[in-house]
Structure 1
């Protein structure tokens, strides 16, 4: 292990604890590449930090503590594998693996290892559910229990999902690498989709009592910042802008009692205006690149909402135009619904309703509670309260989130019997 110029440790445990929180997953990502095994890398990471806790208080913090930890984890794992040779059946392949480990160099660019780990966790051969769970667990370091709670599954079920994904990566010899230039665009789409799935589950939980899970949103944003730092592509910046802008408004989305507050009733003083400025700037830069994709256009829409001083000042013509552009490059019933709502806000509820009615005939939107809620809202604005009541009741029956159910019930009470 290389000897560095060292700094004294005044409070060794605090220094190591802070380093683990900030850089623990960087160390782990490097050890995954060096050891070629998720579980060994996790064990080696713990061993390395235990070694630091025993040595640094007396010796001081190394000049390059992250590299020290990676080197410590690797060499201690080599020692352990050598000891295993004396107690278990040892194959020629196992011997060659240890020899390769001894010859490998510790990484100079640790950030690249984190990018490799992200692409490995989001490999196309894994299911989307497994990719989300793997990314949050292995890259972000979230506890299995926290991820399971966010996605409304039992912790043992989620743990098994991660175990199966790791086995598939090992058995299929999935390479631990960033794909080459030809493959990168297709693989990057999967990575961004997985990150955004994690964010949207935090922003609007799929079920249960809590609509918003701020920790999950924050982890997805942290992952977005990391990917943009390592891979500065326009759509990466667009996704980061979108997540920052949506997160900036989350404090005003819920009442202290846990009730949903719609956009037109939110206290904009509770919005994080510094985050809005940052997100809007990221969106502007992504748009100026000339390579606008769906995340960038959604970020531009979010920026238009967030930068309006009052709801009445919202530029619905701009938003309708952005949704029209988004619909051209990513046609989907949900985007068509949002476009119809923007048209309704620009041209009146009758125009919007004429666009929504045929969409509700599609199987997907026919079971989508927000489509029926949007129809109900337009009917209410037109004074057609009986029809509005029917649509609100359908929306309430289809909603799976308790806060949304309570909001729709409140709307029903407002229009009366």
Structure 2
């Protein structure tokens, strides 16, 4: 598919799906019709040129496909979904801005779904990610991600799920899933798992934009504020992470080129959120990012504080990325040997995770051990990111 068409689709997909659902379509039917519209665009636009109103064209074609499908199955019972998304209490009104992306995210995180299923489904239906990208973001095999998506659709179908205004008692669970979806869209876009580039600005900008609107809708929610702060802190150093196609590690980045006004805003968001309510995982991740972002130099990083924050994060939301971060922080506080010991169980549990192997290689290198070379090469072989491959192969040196 033409990359330009793919770019349009990722931007417009939530609006097309929302338009079809306002007309009473079930999510699964809306997605099928929207995909058919995308295929029609892939055939017609290169031949006839892109229409002036891209969104209108896609909605019109998808609507026709939906009507055709409904007519062909007229004899079968059809689910009828609520279409009162504009009445009082809808998310678009709470945000004081009509935003189909945010509305679709909240609506897709249905209580009938488990959080992993809701995350996978909304990443696919709203985030526009491929199954492979979703798998990389969730740290699961591609087949597992595909199963989660198909099972989520089946669950919604069997539950007779209706996508209308969200009852207040369901908001906390849905917010939890929405935050994870936005975080995964952002992290996938900021560290692409494959290809010749590291950052997809469309994905990261969209994630920040929608999170800004979520924060406006629930300004007193501390972990939503933490999520927005985290995104802003990571995004603030985006321009320094890759120079002339080369991956630049944190220790070597030009801190003067970081967006310090954005860092300042993120720190203020975090300082306002931390005193309110329980400290959640995104606040803790943002706090870790803030320690790095506010250090005058890499050598002046407050590593004991980083380590303590990682330990708090592991207590609140244990996950492989937090374990890896804690091991690296421990190596900075107590030395490479301590870091290696902390990495051992993670490396045993995730023998094909190139990030774990690369971290071990750096620690072995710091100890002057020759087996670092083999780990650098193994890590390079396990990643599909070309900049990461180039960096890790360069660290390994010539064969």
Alignment of 1:7-156 (within 5 A): 29=18, 32-33=21-22, 35=24, 107=87, 110-112=92-94, 114=100, 116-123=103-110, 124=113, 126=117, 128-136=119-127, 147-148=129-130, 151=133
Are 1:412 and 2:396 an aligned pair? yes
| Deviation string, structure 1 residues 331-383 (Cα, Å, up to 9, x no partner) | 233312211111111222222222223432x322x211111111111121122
For the 8 Å contact 1:122–1:194, the answer to whether it is kept is no
| Deviation string, structure 1 residues 111-152 (Cα, Å, up to 9, x no partner) | 357555322223326564332121225xxxxxxxxx459939
Distance 1:324 1:164 in 2: 34
Aligned length: 340
In structure 1, what is the equivalent of residue 227 of structure 2?
A: 239
Distance 1:230 1:282 in 2: 15
Deviation (angstroms), 1:188: 2.1
| Deviation string, structure 1 residues 258-279 (Cα, Å, up to 9, x no partner) | 1211001111222111111112
In structure 2, what is the equivalent of residue 303 of structure 1?
A: 290
Q: Which secondary structure state, in structure 1, belongs to the residue aligned with residue 243 of structure 2?
A: coil
Are 1:250 and 2:238 an aligned pair? yes
For the 8 Å contact 2:232–2:263, the answer to whether it is kept is yes
In structure 2, what is the equivalent of residue 57 of structure 1?
A: none
For the 8 Å contact 1:116–1:177, the answer to whether it is kept is no
Distance 2:127 2:187 in 1: 14
Normalised by the length of structure 2, the TM-score is 0.70
For the 8 Å contact 1:221–1:243, the answer to whether it is kept is yes
Distance 1:181 1:216 in 2: 29
Higher Cα Rg: structure 1 or 2? Answer: 1
Distance 1:220 1:410 in 2: 32
Structure 1 unpaired stretches of 5+: 1-21, 44-68, 82-86, 138-146, 154-160
Q: Which secondary structure state, in structure 1, belongs to the residue aligned with residue 246 of structure 2?
A: coil
CA RMSD of aligned residues (A): 4.3
Structure 2 unpaired stretches of 5+: 1-10, 35-55, 136-147
Deviation (angstroms), 1:245: 0.9
Deviation (angstroms), 1:394: 2.1
| Deviation string, structure 1 residues 205-242 (Cα, Å, up to 9, x no partner) | 12122221111001011111111111231111111111
Deviation (angstroms), 1:170: 6.3
Q: In structure 2, do the counterparts of structure 1 residues 88 and 354 end up closer, same or farther at CA, with 3 Å as the change threshold? A: closer
| Deviation string, structure 1 residues 171-208 (Cα, Å, up to 9, x no partner) | 74312245444443333222111111111110111212
For the 8 Å contact 1:263–1:311, the answer to whether it is kept is yes
Match for 2:349 among 363, 367, 374?
Answer: 363
Q: Which secondary structure state, in structure 2, belongs to the residue aligned with residue 359 of structure 1?
A: helix
Deviation (angstroms), 1:168: 7.0
